[in-house]
Amino acid sequence: MTKSLSPPDYSIFLAAVKDRILHARISVARAINRDLVLLYWDIGQGLAEKQRTAGWGDAVIEKLAADLRTEFPDMRGFSVVNLWRMKQLYLVHTAPEFLSQAVKELKVGGAAQEKLSQTVRELVASIPWGHHANLLAKLSDPAARLYYLRATAQFGWSRSVLLNQIKAGAYERAVKEKKTHNFALALPEHFAEQAGEMMKSRYNLEFLGINRAVKERELEDRLVSHLQRFILELGYGFCFVGRQYRLALGRKEYFVDLLFYHRFIKALVAFDLKIGPFEPEHAGKMDFYLNLLNEKERGSADGPSIGIILCAEKDDIEVEFALKTKHNPIGVAEYRLQARLPAKLKGRLPSAKQLADAVREVLPSRK
């Protein structure tokens, strides 16, 4: 019995076929999802228009749900709750408030109403129905809804990542807190916009459970041991490359605290951790690291490497002046280790000493 041998280059051919099959499966899944969401949009539109023009009452939705389940017993999704969501899907994305927000952000002329409606419809269809169910249940602000729709479509957020971003207040941080970086100066316009959306002004690291002063290496250790939570906070698309990533130049060695690769921006992203406030010299150090990464690690199809300095606090004016002369794209962001007391409660809650004194008064003294 002769042993079968693989022909030359068979493994390369097999890998290419497997990659093609995976891409085809993803494409088919996306096409099915798009058609399903558009179907739900059309059902919701039909219900809304019949209730508006023909005076149909809410009871018709229960009847329609029962009739559709009888007619299509093998199909899921025709519950009463889901039909209400279909109607809501259509109404919230065709409301004047949402469309006016879309005009501002999607760069579609306000006069071209038909084009605007089609653009919004296509954006909605690019998001899986399960994501829409969460967005419809958790958001009422049109601007926030559009922000999460666009981010999910652009970065391919899973449902769990989307929920985590909503819970972490990604929209509020993106809109209300100024991001400090030089991306507009160091990157082409489109790439700068993507990099700006990738970066946050502040990162919530409460999950590390740190409630005391720590050294930078311990902060790094904690982030690596909670890597999955950290990547969720960073946002979808980050792939971990390594910690204390070694870069050699001549006889000297340099080490990047944390190195990631972003799949959608297609660029290396270096993090430099600082337990104290931002200092101007931090920008020079990061600029040096990015020069080395671009020279020694950057792939031929990759964009320029990006640096993010993660510090306890920053002064925006100081950061602006520190980054003015840097040719590499660098951002500076704060991190938060503990939940902050709301401003209205500051000074109204007892201190640790006051609590201790109160306990001593209540408890019987020990002899």
pTM over 0.75: no
For residue 310 the two structure tokens come to 């993660």
Beta partners for 238? 262
Q: Exposed, middle or buried by CB within 10 Å (0-12, 13-18, 19+), for 241?
A: middle
d(CA 33, CA 152): 14
What distance lies between CA 210 and its chain's CA centroid?
A: 24
d(CA 263, CA 326): 25
- Say what the pLDDT of residue 316 is: 85
Separation in Å, CA 54 to CA 50, 51, 230: 5, 6, 52
- Say what the pLDDT of residue 367 is: 40
Q: Exposed, middle or buried by CB within 10 Å (0-12, 13-18, 19+), for 225?
A: exposed
First to last CA, the chain: 92
- Say what the pLDDT of residue 177 is: 67
Per residue in 253-282, pLDDT tens? 999 999 999 988 899 999 999 988 999 999
pLDDT < 50: residue spans in the chain: 1-2, 110-111, 341-343, 345-346, 349-353, 355-356, 358-360, 362-367
- Say what the pLDDT of residue 332 is: 95
Amino acid at residue number 225: S
Amino acid at residue number 95: A
Amino acid at residue number 259: L
For residue 117 the two structure tokens come to 């409606």
Per residue in 168-209, pLDDT tens? 788 887 776 678 899 988 998 888 888 888 888 888 888 888
236, 302, 299, 294: which is closest to 267 by C-alpha?
A: 302
Task: Report the CATH architecture of 178-339.
Answer: 3-Layer(aba) Sandwich (3.40)
Domain boundaries, the chain: 15-175, 178-339
d(CA 259, CA 244): 8
